[in-house]
Structure 1
C-alpha cells in the first residue's frame, strides 16, 4: 500500500507537462473532531494519490487544513472523497484566481498537534463562538463604516505585497504573535468598534474571532473564505477591490495577483516589485522580494555572501552549513540586515507602480512538446541563455518553447547555437547549449521542443 511519494518534484513536473491537462489550485479547511488523525491521513493519501491530487495538507484532532493542486477533470471525484466524511459534506473549496499547473509537485499530508500553529489553549474559551462571516460585498460595505477597525492576521512578508486599504498590518513573523499585540492595541475599542479581520483563506480568523469575542470584543467579523474567496467574488460580481496588490500564497507560485497595483519594493534596489524569491544558497533560503534585474545580477541570492557561496564546490558549501539550523528552508522569514528596502508593520495604501498589461502567462499552450532542459543561466548583456540538455537531442531548425511563471510561453525557431562552447548543429543529452533569445530567461524557465 503506497503511503508516500515515489516521484521527485522534477519528475512530477515533467509528467504534468507531458499530460498537457489543466489543473486547479484550491484550498479548504474544516474544524472537526478527528479521533484518529493518522488513520485519517492514510485514507486521504490513498484516495488522493489515485486522483493525481498534490498539495500540502495538515491534519490533527481538531480538523484539516489543505492547499492543493487537482486535475480539473478529477475535481468532482475529489469532492466525493471529501464528502465521504460527514464533517466535510458541503465544504467550501477556495479556487485560486491565478492558476499554475506546477503550484504543488508532491502530495504531503502531515499529522500535527494543530492545523494552524496559533499558540492558544483551546480549553480556555469556546472556539465555536466565532465572529460573523462576511461575503465580499458585505465586507466592502463594513470597511466604509468609520466605526470599523480592520486587521490583517497574516505575517509581515504576506501583507507587504498586498493588503486591504487602511488595515492594521502587525509586524509579526507568526500568527500567534499577532493575537496579544492586537488585543493590547485595541483594548480601548472593545465595546464600540467593529473588529473586522481577514487572512489568506479564512482559517486563521476562524479561531481568532472566537478568541477576541472571549477577550470582550462585542462586534467581531471575519472575511468568509479569506482573500482567496474575496478575489473570486469581486471578479464574478464586478465589485470594487478594496484589497490592493498581490495575495501571498504558500505554494510554488508565492503569490496571485488581485489588482495591478504594486505596493512593495525590491529589497535589494528599491525598484517597485512584488515577486518573492527564495535565496539560492541552500544554507540560507531567505524569503525576500527581488526584481528581474537583481535576480539576474545576484543569481537568485539575497547577499554577496550567498552569491559567493553558491559558486563554491558543493563539499565546501555543505561544510559551511554543517551544524546550522537550515531545516525550515522554503519560507524562512524575510528579515535580514542585507535587505535595505524591506518594509514591515505600518504599510502604505499608495501604489508604487502598476503591472504592465500582458497576456495571461498562466494559460497552458496546447501543443505537443517534450521537455529538454531547465534554464541554468542567463547572460544579461549578451542576451544568451544556457541550458544543459536532460532529455532528447536538439537540432538547429527545431521549433522550441521557453516557458515559466514569469516569462510566460515564448516560441521561436532555433537558428543557431553553441554546444560546449563551439558552434554546432546538433546537441545531445548532457551537452551545455547556449543561444541568443529576444527576451529575458529566468532560472524557473524550462526548454521544450515542439513536436507538432
Structure 2
C-alpha cells in the first residue's frame, strides 16, 4: 500500500507533457466532524493516486480543504471518491478561472490540527453556525447598501493584486491575524451594520462568518464559493465584475487575471505590475512582485545579495543555505527591506487601477516572439551545466534564449558559448544535444526558447 509520492516534480511534469491529457485545476472544502483524520487521509491518497490526481490537501477533525489538478477524463470518477462520504455529497468544485496542466506536480494530503489555522481556542465556537451565503448577483446588489461593511479575509499579498472595490483589506500575513483586527474595528457596529465578507474559494470567510456570529454580530453574509465562483457566475450571467485585478492562487501560477486592471506595482522599481514571483535564490524564495524589466535585470532575485548568491557554483550555494529555514519562514511574504516600492497599506485605502494595455504602452517594449527549440535533458550538478535536446529550429552562439519551467520560472540570457554532442560548436540543430553553463538548476520539465525581436 503506497501512501507517498515516488516521482519527483520534474518526472511528473515530463509524464504529464508526454500524456498530452487536459487537466482541470479545482478546489473545494467542507467543514465536518471527521473522527479519524489519518485514516481519512490514507483512503483519499490511495483513491486519488489511482486517478492520477495531484494537488495539496489538508484534513483535520474539522473537515477538508483541497486544491487539486485532475485529468479531465477522470473528473467524474474523482467526484465519486468525494461523494462516497455523506458530508461531501453534492459538494461544489470550484474550477479555476485559468487552467494550467502543470498547476500541481505531486499529490500531498496532510493531517493538520485545523484546515484553516485561526488561532482560536474556544470550545463553544461552532464553525458550522455560519453566515448567509450570497451568489454573485445578490453580492453585487448588497454592495450598494450603505449599511454594508465589506471585508477581504485574504492576506496582504493576495489583496494587493486584486480585490473588490471598497473592501477593507487588512495588512496581514495570515488569516488568524485578521479576526481580532476586524473584530476590534467593528465593535460598535454589531447591530447596525451588515458584515459582508469574501475570500478566494469560501473556506476562510466561512469560518470568519461563524466567528463573527459567535462574537455577537447579527447580520453576517459571505460570498458563496469566493472569488472563483463569483467570476464564473459573472461570466455566465453577464454581470458586472465588482472585483478588479488578479485573483492570487496557491499553485505555481500565483494568480489568474479577472479584469485587465493592474492595481499593484513592481516592488523593485515601482512601475504598475501584478506579477508575483519567488526569489530565484533557493535559500530565500521570497514572494514578491517583479516586472519583466526588473526580472531580467535582477535574474529573478529580490536583492543584490541574492543576485550575488545565485552566481556562485551550486555547491557553494548549498553550503550557504545549509541549515537555513525556508524563505517563507525567514521573510514575511512580500515584505523585505530590499523591496523599496512595497507599500504598507491602510486597510481602508483605495487604489487607482491602471489598465494592462496602458502598462504595455508604458513599457514600450519591442515585440518579440518565443520559438520553442528544445527540452531539458539533464543537469550536471557539479559542473553547473545544463543539457537540452534541440527539437526544432536552429541555435547560434550569441542568440538570446529563455529557459522556462514550472519550478525554474523564467531565465533569459545570451547564449555565448556551448557544446554540441560534447564538442565546441557555433550552431545547433534538431536532434543535437546541446550543453552550456548556467548559474541555476534546470529541470527535465524546462523548455528552451529562442527569442526573436521584431521592430
| TM-score, normalised by the number of residues in structure 2 | 0.83
Q: Which residue of 2 aligns with 1:350?
A: 352
Change (3 A) 1:92 1:425: closer
Q: Which residue of 1 aligns with 2:341?
A: 341
Q: Which residue of 1 aligns with 2:136?
A: 136
* Partners of 1:285 and 1:330 within 8 A in 2: no
1:124-158 CA distance string (max 9 Å, x none): 32222211001000000111111110000011000
Return the offset for 1:372: 1.6
1:373 partnered with 2:371: no
Change (3 A) 1:51 1:60: same
Distance 2:201 2:35 in 1: 25
Question: How many equivalent pairs are there?
Answer: 409
Return the offset for 1:330: 11
1:304 partnered with 2:307: no
Return the offset for 1:34: 1.0
1:9-45 CA distance string (max 9 Å, x none): 1111111111122111100000111111111111111
Return the offset for 1:344: 3.8
* Partners of 2:266 and 2:289 within 8 A in 1: yes
Q: Which residue of 1 aligns with 2:123?
A: 123
Change (3 A) 1:60 1:317: same
1:317-344 CA distance string (max 9 Å, x none): 2332334322647995110111111124
1:160 partnered with 2:123: no
* Partners of 2:374 and 2:392 within 8 A in 1: no
- How much is the aligned-residue C-alpha RMSD, in angstroms? 3.1
Q: Which residue of 1 aligns with 2:409?
A: none
Gaps of 5+ in 2: 361-371, 380-384, 396-400, 407-414, 439-444, 451-455
* Partners of 2:286 and 2:328 within 8 A in 1: no
Distance 1:103 1:425 in 2: 32
Q: Which residue of 1 aligns with 2:322?
A: 322
Q: Which residue of 2 aligns with 1:88?
A: 88
Q: Which residue of 2 aligns with 1:281?
A: 281
Q: Which residue of 1 aligns with 2:292?
A: 292
SS of residue in 2 equivalent to 1:42: helix
SS of residue in 2 equivalent to 1:77: helix
Distance 2:39 2:332 in 1: 31
Distance 1:122 1:433 in 2: 57
1:429 partnered with 2:433: yes
Distance 1:135 1:186 in 2: 24
Q: Which residue of 1 aligns with 2:245?
A: 245
* Partners of 1:284 and 1:329 within 8 A in 2: no
Change (3 A) 1:130 1:17: same
Q: Which residue of 1 aligns with 2:448?
A: 447
Distance 1:429 1:59 in 2: 45
Return the offset for 1:353: 3.1
* Partners of 2:390 and 2:434 within 8 A in 1: no
* Partners of 2:202 and 2:225 within 8 A in 1: yes
Return the offset for 1:431: 1.8
Farther off after superposition, 289-298 or 312-321: 312-321
Change (3 A) 1:13 1:4: same
* Partners of 1:393 and 1:429 within 8 A in 2: no
Farther off after superposition, 298-307 or 342-351: 342-351
Farther off after superposition, 145-154 or 323-332: 323-332
Gaps of 5+ in 1: 359-368, 377-386, 407-415, 435-443
* Partners of 2:248 and 2:255 within 8 A in 1: yes
Change (3 A) 1:330 1:299: farther
* Partners of 1:375 and 1:445 within 8 A in 2: no
Q: Which residue of 2 aligns with 1:266?
A: 266
1:205 partnered with 2:219: no
1:161-210 CA distance string (max 9 Å, x none): 00000000001111000100001111111111110011111001111111
Q: Which residue of 2 aligns with 1:382?
A: none
Distance 1:80 1:63 in 2: 18
* Partners of 1:263 and 1:348 within 8 A in 2: no
Change (3 A) 1:85 1:448: farther
Distance 2:138 2:448 in 1: 46
1:30 partnered with 2:34: no
Distance 2:378 2:262 in 1: 27
Return the offset for 1:212: 0.5
Distance 1:395 1:258 in 2: 36
Distance 2:136 2:179 in 1: 24
Distance 1:327 1:63 in 2: 29
SS of residue in 2 equivalent to 1:123: coil
* Partners of 2:373 and 2:394 within 8 A in 1: no
